[in-house]
Structure 1
Amino acid sequence: MDFRIRPIRPEDDATMAAVIRTVMPEFGATGDGFAINDPEVDWLSKAYAEPRCAYFVVERDGVVMGGGGIAPLVGGEDDVCELRKMYFLPALRGVGAGAAMMAQCLDAARAIGFRRCYLETLRGMDAAMRLYERTGFQRLPGPMGATGHGGCNAFYLLPLSPA
């Protein structure tokens, strides 16, 4: 494994904002209804320092090339978290970083006490959807909560075993 996952730090904010704003257009995720326009993209370290939140970055050769996190599902039940803003630059894809990040996020969710993990994505993000399904996420017919990401069109939920 030639990458390292660690908690986000304030000095990572600009790099992660650039990663997210680079990756999302690859999949047509521009305009209203997508996380690319979410103001927290510019200050992830502060947003995920809130209670019951966690965000991690992936470094390869000392360079932050991706990240992902969990937070309570806005407008959802108290025991549901959302896997959020998990994006990787192309150079980090296919090396196991996605599976490792998923494990890190789900471990953090369990440790916080969440019992279910929800996520929203886009059809066309095929590799990501395969990862979600391999991890055990089940496809839902529609969205949960009130994420504000109306541009997403694929929804998943995973029951979490206790930590």
Structure 2
Amino acid sequence: MSTIAIRTIQPADNQALAVIIRNALAEFGANKPGTVYYDATTDALYELFRKAGSIYYVAEENGVLLGGAGIYPSPGLPADTCELVKMYLSPNARGKGIGKLLIEKALEFATATGYRNVYIETMPELRKAMSVYEKFGFKYLDGPMGNTGHFGCGIWMIKSL
């Protein structure tokens, strides 16, 4: 039996993660302007997550990347609020509890780092993800927070830690 390893991102992970993220968005019809599909940072996640107060975890099985999730102090958010970002899994990794493991790890980091709230931006096309966030206690907001530049995301959620 194989085991799922959760670890922090490495430079060699960039290309595989960019493919997973863009393929997932395309699969759900969410590959539109104002989303991470078009962000240059999607191709350089290792470099992006060198920023203080951020981290990116990847899930790996037998040397194959399955997806990842990160915590990031997005521009314009209050100092005590971070964003759960770039939470994507490859199709064969979904429905196995891997997303739950990644979110738990990310929330542990956010708590340990001193954040008091975690913000999420998503879109209606990613309904399954929204239900997962609800189970973690995220509540819907009436509008966006911060200045992420993701005008393609029309759903905003927050969780108090």
State the SS of the aligned residue for 2:75. Answer: coil
1:1-163 maps to which residues of 2 (within 5 A)? 2-160=3-161
The runs of 5 or more residues in structure 1 that have no matched partner are none
**Contact 1:57-1:65 at 8 Å conserved across structures:** yes
* Displacement of 1:43: 1.0
The runs of 5 or more residues in structure 2 that have no matched partner are none
Inter-partner Cα distance in structure 1 for 2:27 and 2:156: 20
Inter-partner Cα distance in structure 2 for 1:159 and 1:72: 15
**Contact 1:73-1:118 at 8 Å conserved across structures:** no
Inter-partner Cα distance in structure 1 for 2:31 and 2:92: 22
4+ runs deviating over 3 angstroms: none
* Displacement of 1:115: 0.6
Letter in 2 for 1:12: D
**Contact 1:75-1:146 at 8 Å conserved across structures:** yes
Inter-partner Cα distance in structure 1 for 2:102 and 2:12: 20
**Contact 2:29-2:125 at 8 Å conserved across structures:** no
Question: What TM-score, normalized to structure 2?
Answer: 0.95
Inter-partner Cα distance in structure 2 for 1:81 and 1:117: 5
Inter-partner Cα distance in structure 1 for 2:123 and 2:66: 21
Letter in 2 for 1:70: I
Inter-partner Cα distance in structure 2 for 1:106 and 1:99: 10
* Displacement of 1:157: 0.1
State the SS of the aligned residue for 1:125. Answer: helix
Letter in 1 for 2:101: A
Corresponding residue pairs, total: 160
Letter in 1 for 2:116: R
**Contact 1:6-1:58 at 8 Å conserved across structures:** yes
Letter in 2 for 1:75: G
**Contact 1:60-1:92 at 8 Å conserved across structures:** no
